[in-house]
Amino acid sequence: MPENKKEVRSIVILANPTMPEALAEGRKVQRALEKTHQVRTVLANIDDTAIRKRVTENEFDILIALGGDGTMLRAGHLAAPVGLPILGINLGRFGFLMQLRLDDWKAAVPRLLAGEYKLEHRMMLQAELLRGDAILQTLQVVNEAVVCRGKYVRPIRVVASVDGYVLASYVADGLIAATPTGSTGYALAANGPILPPELRNILIIPVAPHLSMEHAVVLPEGATVIFSHETDHEAVLSVDGHEPIHLEDGDRVRISSGAHTLKFVVFKDPGYFYRNLSLYMEQNPSRNGLK
């Protein structure tokens, strides 16, 4: 067993609270795990404050998330700081980040307990909101950090600098800084390239650029990117689809490689990413809605 895996003795199962079937399916997963008498389990909604505290205190060996990609993003923010591996079971319509479909998990339980899986390490980013010399907020990023227009349907001006040198000045609806994991999310919708998840790069892609550079830029892990926002109307910073943060004219967002790494539990061979990609491109399940 590789050194970054340890014996599984304690598992937390977190369900999407907006999906009643998630908690019901979680109970089935819990019963299947406890039948072996090898592990103790805890089942809760992902919003449960008491359970979230126990996760941050590094009480568990594996986190199982039931829901869609949004649930997986929230699980990632919770688990990454303590190095807790995550296994996703897809109950949503898309589920690109999830490892298992609903009909897969029963066969996967014995393999999980036997240590017959790999840990896929995925890069995260750190986004700092700067106002003058002050750092107002520091945020961890799984998919993407976006500086974009607010409620007014007008482009904003964002200057992107890399390691102190101006890369480009954009007039656009927004500018995305994405991880390889996030390259299949909002960045892909903005015509960005798809990066294999094990890469460690920073992807910069504009959203609806107007007479500006429209090509994506792929930067090395060690780069530091600054988005300088200049506009006389509303603009916001959004990280992984969370509540947007209002930006004032002159605010900057500094983006760099994060201190934490996501650990995804993977049962399939390395080609699974490309097979999933082909499947989702041909039969996009998000056409009927996202969860």
Closest CA to 234 of 158, 168, 148: 148
Residue 56 and residue 268: Cα distance in Å, rounded?
28
Q: How many CA atoms lie within 13 A of 210 on its CB side?
A: 9
Name beta bridge partners: 177: 145, 204
- CB atoms near residue 119 (< 10 Å): 17
Residue 189 and residue 280: Cα distance in Å, rounded?
13
Tokens of 70: 């949004």
Rounded to 5°, angle at Cα 25 from 119 and 182: 40
Residue 100 and residue 106: Cα distance in Å, rounded?
10
Q: Which residues are catalytic?
A: 69
